[in-house]
Amino acid sequence: MTRRRAATQRAADRRRGRSVLLAGGGTAGHVNPLLAVADELRRRDPSMVLTVLGTARGLEATLVPAHGLPLALVPRVPLPRRPTVDWFRLPGRLVSAVRAAGDAIDRNGAQVVVGFGGYVATPAYLAARRRGVPVVIHEANARPGLANRLGARWARSVTVTFEGTRLPRAQVVGMPLRAEVVALVGAAGDRRATRAAAAAALGLDADRVTLLVTGGSLGAQRVNQVMASFGTDLRAAGVQVLHLAGRGKAEQVLADLGGVLAASPAADGARYEVREYLEEMELAYALADLVVCRAGAATVSELAALGIPAVYVPLPIGNGEQRLNAAPVVEAGGGLLVADADLTLGWLREHVLPLLAGAVAGDERLHDMGVAAARVGVRDGAARVADVVEAALR
């Protein structure tokens, strides 16, 4: 399709109704905020044409169709961070992906492209620029990725989750939250009932101080090992634990726990529950008094929005964005930050055990940390991004 025909097509679509192309895929960190914004746009205007640009191999290949949205496919184009043989393959791959993204823009008459980073964002940004279609960017992490750094150079609007994210003209809007988390935020006024329902669904005790341990769907091996060694202290303190070990990692955690828990009876029957993963994470959030976790942007944003204090253990690889993600909450007093290598049994006994044991005894420190986390949490990130998209449509 020529540029003139594409412009004519978009003009016709503009008369019929509004159309938006959302680009983001690969990981939950890209896909979940995309779906949250799509939900908000669809809620505001059910007639709006929404199309998602993604790959056939990313998480979006299953999540987007399950969400009732059409998925337009583009080839996966990883951007090498350092010189490798992939540099020589990049131009051909990129041309093919830009062509596919452009076809999706033209076919759907997209009037705005909304990008969330990841492999599919770069071709979407380039195709939109070539057609004069405005681009809106959302960057989830405190340290932006390559695709959004490129697209931000000419984007109509740039939105970010965290203050201090280095992108031009960035406006802080927070993280667009998953619908399940939004519902939990809305139920905050009846936390006791929500907690009781979650405990019943999980087979746990709603009246017991609860520690949630999670390393995400794949787990975190060091967190698993160290927390298992902490099991004796937790049970002796009367703390209930829900440990989500990650897919394929629960058996090892149970093995590590075997000797620990057998040697130490639980105080008043406190349980240490180990599972691989929990699809309904909102249930775990509803029950948790404290969380030990990585510091992905979504995790930090969800816990802050819900006012749940956390011990953040940033992923020790990558570009260091996880430490930056957690920094605002920690600085506000809503959590603790510990390097992966420094997470030891001694550190947990010194810093975490007093918080949990104090909560069992009626101390308010954990509650106060939750209040501090909530003060920096953003609960309407999807609405804020949707406002920017609608401004671009106008």
pLDDT at residue 218, rounded to an integer: 78
Which segments of the chain belong to CATH 3.40.50.2000? 3-177+380-393, 180-376
What is the average pLDDT score of the chain? 90
- How many C-beta neighbours within 10 Å does residue 49 have? 17
Q: Report how far apart the first and last C-alpha atoms of the chain are (Å, whole number).
A: 25
Above 80 in pLDDT, residue 143? yes
Superfamily of domain 180-376: Glycogen Phosphorylase B; (3.40.50.2000)
- Specify the length of the chain in residues: 394
- How many C-beta neighbours within 10 Å does residue 192 have? 9
Residue type, 340: D
Cα 222 to chain center, whole Å? Answer: 21
**Strand ordering across the sheet containing 49-54:** 71-73, 49-54, 19-23, 112-115, 135-139, 157-160, 170-172
H/E stretch holding 261: helix 250-262
User: Going by C-beta distance under 8 Å and a sequence separation of 6 or more, which residues neighbour residue 285?
Assistant: 181, 184, 212, 302, 303, 306, 308
Above 80 in pLDDT, residue 341? yes
Above 50 in pLDDT, residue 13? no
Q: How far apart are CA 371 and CA 256, in angstroms?
A: 34
CATH 3.90.1150.10 fits 3-177+380-393, yes or no: no
Which token pair is 309? 């204090």
pLDDT (mean) for 82-88: 56
Which token pair is 200? 């019943």
Per-residue model confidence as pLDDT tens digits over 285-304: 999 999 999 999 999 999 99
